[in-house]
Amino acid sequence: MNERNRNDEKSPTSPFFGTVKEVISSHNHCTFCGANLHFTHVTDFNRNLTQETARCPECGLKCREILHRLQ
């Protein structure tokens, strides 16, 4: 699983592009069927990490899994 810093909007490796509305829509909707994604977050306070998982309830696709580092 890759760890990414999503807070840096000016990062040249940012996977987001387009208008704000388009970015929010692509983040919240399944890329396969367009349904609203369900997000789960599991935090490990010993390692200061939060794992975010996005799944589509309609087609069952696991769209992304990201580790966030806590400060």
pLDDT at 13 over 50: no
**What is the reported pLDDT for 11?**
44
Query: Who wins on pLDDT, 8 or 39?
Result: 39
Domain that holds residue 51: 37-71
What is the rounded CA–CA span in Å between residue 60 and residue 62? 6
Considering its fold, how many domains does the chain have in total? Answer: 1
The answer as to whether 32 is a domain residue is no
Reading the block at residue 49, the tokens are 């990490």
Contacts of 38 (CB under 8 A, 6+ apart): 54, 55, 56, 57
Calculate mean pLDDT across residues 7-27: 68
The answer as to whether 56 is a domain residue is yes
Is residue 27 within 8 Å of residue 66, measured between CB atoms?
A: no
The answer as to whether 47 is a domain residue is yes
The answer as to whether 26 is a domain residue is no
**What is the reported pLDDT for 7?**
43
pTM (predicted TM-score): 0.64
State pLDDT tens for residues 19-56: 888 888 888 998 889 899 999 999 999 999 999 999 99
